[in-house]
Amino acid sequence: MRRYSAFAIAREALRFHSGWARAWRSPEPKRHYQVIVIGAGGHGLATAYYLGRNFGIRDVAVLEKGWLGGGNTGRNTTIIRSNYLQDPSAAIYEKSRSLYETFSQDVNFNAMFSPRGVIMLAQTHHEVRGYQRTARANALQGVETEFISPERVKEIVPIINIDGPRYPVLGGLWQPRGGTARHDAIAWGYARACSGMGMDIIQQCEVTGIRSEGGVVRGVSTTKGEIDCDKLAIVVAGHSGRLAEMAGFRLPIESVALQALVSEPIKPCMDCVVMANTVHGYMSQSDKGEMVIGGGTDGFNSYVQRGSFHHIEETVRALVETFPMISRLKMMRQWGGIVDMTGDRSPILSTTPLGNCFINCGWGTGGFKAIPGSGWAMAELVAKGAPGPLAAEFGLDRFREGRIIDESVAAGVAH
Ligand SMILES: Cc1cc2nc3c(=O)[nH]c(=O)nc-3n(C[C@H](O)[C@H](O)[C@H](O)COP(=O)(O)OP(=O)(O)OC[C@H]3O[C@@H](n4cnc5c(N)ncnc54)[C@H](O)[C@@H]3O)c2cc1C
């Protein structure tokens, strides 16, 4: 695989861009792989990438029922932060955030990581106390955050109205190295690097069954035939419950739709990410100038990857007091993705009742930011057969043992 570089761009410019190779191969599946990863979203591709990079395991197939990055990875609002409350969460999200800082160099693909800063607004006294507590926890965890005054919020975000009659801004939790990245580029970058290592990424290949023998996984049935494997990683976000059923176990997961929308492009007016969790809304501005807006999850379970009109109204209505300027913006597009929610709003990276079968899910509304860290931890789990320090607390057994990792404040709605 040829490296992307400034020199390569100059060379291709001189020959009318006729020399670029395909970013990844589209092979037919082999009969057997050492590891099969189900799901070519960010988490599945990152798992495969770190299996190769950190453990030298390259006999890997990533099976995807649609197109790679076409699930939640290509549908999210790209917020990256690590200001969680509990120590295990801060550790994995901060690892992830730090891997985003060097993603483009490491994977040799421009991820457009933009550490523009993230503010979570405190608009009730309860939130003020909650975020002050989080800021102190983050200080102990070595995660750089700060609780800032309403005046400082206004300084960072001039378009904000801090004197709203219903929900005035009382302060905010500010993470200066949080930000955004190009979501497609994360999937594409990992896919290209995996393919370059000789791994097979097989699109349009739905897993329809999981085969086992003596309580140990043997392979999968797919729309492209039977494929055997020594180890299996299930990394399918909102479809985790269905795959777990095929493997013969149940998950404490609910699948619900989460929606987002973007406005027409306007001149640069906000150079950080703002989340208003009390009113269920968050906003950033894309490089194209669109205001990228998200809200809360749908109030019912479903597998429907669609947007709905009432959601536009609810989300924009919620934000308009704090951002009066959006009342005059035209909204251009909306969409939905299926997110996988656990009761404690923390992910699952775990061994399963089926031998050599591992699962990574439950990132809910906030897993984009976790992709590199999750892939790193999942690769270790799959390679060694037991979790390393980053994944140790996120096992399925925590639900049986009541060891929940409560992140409802950090992850309740916002990402
Ligand atoms: C509207 C919206 C906004 C969001 N905003 C943010 C945000 O700002 N910040 C943040 O951190 N997170 C955000 N998220 C959450 C984030 O997108 C997800 O947590 C993350 O992308 C999950 O990645 P994944 O790789 O696990 O899942 P996906 O990208 O969904 O990948 C799973 C893949 O598995 C495939 N699959 C499913 N079943 C099968 C099968 N049987 N066989 C083969 N393949 C299968 C699917 O087709 C899919 O491609 C948002 C989500 C949505 C929907």
What tokens does 275 get?
Answer: 């989340």
In a domain? residue 91: no
In a domain? residue 96: no
81 Cβ closer than 6 Å to some ligand 1 atom: no
Q: Choose the residue to mutate in 96, 97, 292, 365 for probing ligand 1, maximizing ligand atoms within 8 Å of C-beta.
A: 365
CA distance 287 to 185: 14
307 Cβ closer than 6 Å to some ligand 1 atom: no
75 Cβ closer than 6 Å to some ligand 1 atom: yes
Element (H, E) at 261: strand 253-265
Domain finish residue from 300, 323, 342 = 342
What are the backbone dihedrals phi and psi of residue 155, each rounded to the nearest 5 degrees, phi first?
-65, -40
Say if residue 193 is in the same domain as residue 298: no
Could you tell me the CATH number of the domain that includes residue 197?
Answer: 3.50.50.60
Cα–ligand 1 centroid distance for 51 (angstroms): 20
> Mind listing the pLDDT tens digit of every residue in the chain (415 residues)?
889 999 999 999 999 999 999 999 999 999 999 999 999 999 999 999 999 999 999 999 999 999 999 999 999 999 999 999 999 999 999 999 999 999 999 999 999 999 999 999 999 999 999 999 999 999 999 999 999 999 999 999 999 999 998 999 999 999 999 999 999 999 999 999 999 999 999 999 999 999 999 999 999 999 999 999 999 999 999 999 999 999 999 999 999 999 999 999 999 999 999 999 888 899 999 999 999 999 888 888 999 888 888 888 889 988 999 999 999 999 999 999 999 999 999 999 999 999 999 999 999 999 999 999 999 999 999 999 999 999 999 999 999 999 999 998 776 555 5
Say if residue 338 is in the same domain as residue 353: no
In a domain? residue 277: yes
What tokens does 349 get?
Answer: 């990276």
How many domains is the chain built from?
2
CA distance 202 to 30: 10
Task: Say which residue the tokens 């040829």 belong to.
Answer: 2
Q: Which domain holds residue 284?
A: 114-180+254-342
Please name the residue whose Cα sits nearest to atom 2 of ligand 1.
76
Say if residue 135 is in the same domain as residue 284: yes
CA distance 377 to 381: 6
Q: Of 325, 253, 308, 236, nearest to 41 (Cα)? A: 236
Domain finish residue from 291, 314, 342 = 342
Torsion of CA 410, 138, 157, 309, to 10 degrees: -10
Question: Which residues pair with residue 258 across a beta bridge?
Answer: 297, 337
Say if residue 261 is in the same domain as residue 240: no
What tokens does 232 get?
Answer: 């299996």
29 Cβ closer than 6 Å to some ligand 1 atom: no
Could you tell me the CATH number of the domain that includes residue 119?
Answer: 3.30.9.10
Please name the residue whose Cα sits nearest to atom 48 of ligand 1.
71
What are the C-alpha distances in Å from 179 to residues 98, 147, 302, 352?
12, 17, 30, 34
Say if residue 348 is in the same domain as residue 326: no
366 Cβ closer than 6 Å to some ligand 1 atom: yes
Domain finish residue from 312, 342, 372 = 342
Task: Say which residue the tokens 């219903």 belong to.
Answer: 166
Say if residue 360 is in the same domain as residue 320: no
From start to end of 82-234, where are the E strands? 118-122, 146-148, 171-175, 179-180, 200-202, 207-213, 216-222, 225-234
From start to end of 302-401, where are the E strands? 331-342, 348-351, 357-361
Say if residue 160 is in the same domain as residue 260: yes
Please give the number of the atom of ligand 1 that sits closest to the Cα of 364: 19
What's the pTM value of the predicted model, to 2 decimals?
A: 0.96
Cα–ligand 1 centroid distance for 368 (angstroms): 8
42 Cβ closer than 6 Å to some ligand 1 atom: yes
